[in-house]
Amino acid sequence: MPYLGMGVHVAVALYFAVHAVRSGQDRYWLMVLFMFPLLGSVVYAFAVWLPEQRHSRHGRALAGNVRRLLDPDRALREAQDAFDTAATTEHRLRLADALLDAGRAGDALAHYRGALSGIHRDDPDIQVRLARALLESGEAAQARQLLDALIARRPDYRSADGHLIYARAVAATGDRAKARQEFDALTGYSSGFQAHAHYAQCLADWGENGCARELCARTLARAQRLPAHVRRLHKPDLDRLRALDKRLAAG
């Protein structure tokens, strides 16, 4: 077991050594890393690697995930403080979004509805966010009705998020033919995989396991051809597809 621990220390030191060479760091870092594999790696991580990672998109995402893990209520708390300080439409929407992300869709509804006033009365982006809150609150029929009215009033309006919310709402109301039509369109142009994950789950819920597995396989094969950093961005949705495919295969 001690040999295993030493191997890990050396592997980490090697990783940082490669990083030091590729990023053009001073050569004395190599001496530090290999003379003191554990302590040197810790020092290098805090002195060089972490500050650099903070400026990359992956690094910012990682830092955000760590902050959410350590303080999951921070975004909601800060949004509430901002709204209590100044009840502007911007702060109201920020609070509504934070409530929705925290799984409190019902509490978010009043704030989204409150934001739909004055010059924002017919704002399509706010209506889409309200529709999502309705859907997450179990009010799929109201979400669909709201978006149907928006489509009729603003046929030129385009929103991939709104389209996905609409497809999910249609599926939740039991209109399979219309839901299939919307999801087919979504998966045809979507650059991400969230729509694919929701569609595959819908197909499984409808008992169409073969179609669900085929969609999972096709989507995962497409994702495999993408660069690793792109796959990392879509990891939650790809993980959902893998888990669903595995579950259907076992069932």
- pLDDT of 19-74, one tens digit each? 777 767 777 777 877 787 678 777 777 677 666 655 555 555 555 554 555 567 88
In the three-class reduction of DSSP (H, G, I as helix; E, B as strand; rest coil), residue 121 is classed as coil
Average pLDDT over every residue of 67-90: 85
Q: What is the pTM of this model?
A: 0.74
pLDDT of residue 3: 38
Q: What percent of the chain has pLDDT over 90?
A: 66
Evaluate if residue 119 carries a pLDDT over 80.
yes
Across the chain, what does the average pLDDT equal? Answer: 87
Residues, the chain: 251
Could you give the percent of the chain with pLDDT greater than 70?
86
Checking if the pLDDT of 170 tops 50, the result is: yes
Nearest to 204 by CA among 235, 228, 234, 183: 183
pLDDT of 1 over the 50 cut: no
Q: Is it the case that residue 128 has pLDDT exceeding 80?
A: yes
User: Tokens standing for 176?
Assistant: 């399979």
| Predicted local distance difference test score (pLDDT) of residue 38 | 74
The per-residue pLDDT for 52 is: 63
Res 67: pLDDT: 55
Rounded to the nearest angstrom, the gap between the alpha carbon of residue 161 and the centroid of all alpha carbons in its chain is: 12
Question: Tokens in use for 81?
Answer: 């403080």
CA dist., res. 212 & res. 214, Å (int): 5
* Model pLDDT, residue 7: 56
Instruction: Give the span between the Cα atoms of 170 and 175, in whole angstroms.
Output: 6
Rounded Cα distance between 89 and 225, Å, is 42
For residue 38, with 0-12 CB atoms within 10 Å meaning exposed, 13-18 middle and 19 or more buried, which class applies? middle
Residue 238 pLDDT: 96
Closest by CA to 128, choosing from 99, 106, 159, 156, is 159
Between the alpha carbon of residue 18 and those of residues 14, 30, 31, the distances in Å are 6, 9, 13
Amino acid 61: pLDDT: 53
Residue 139, amino acid: E
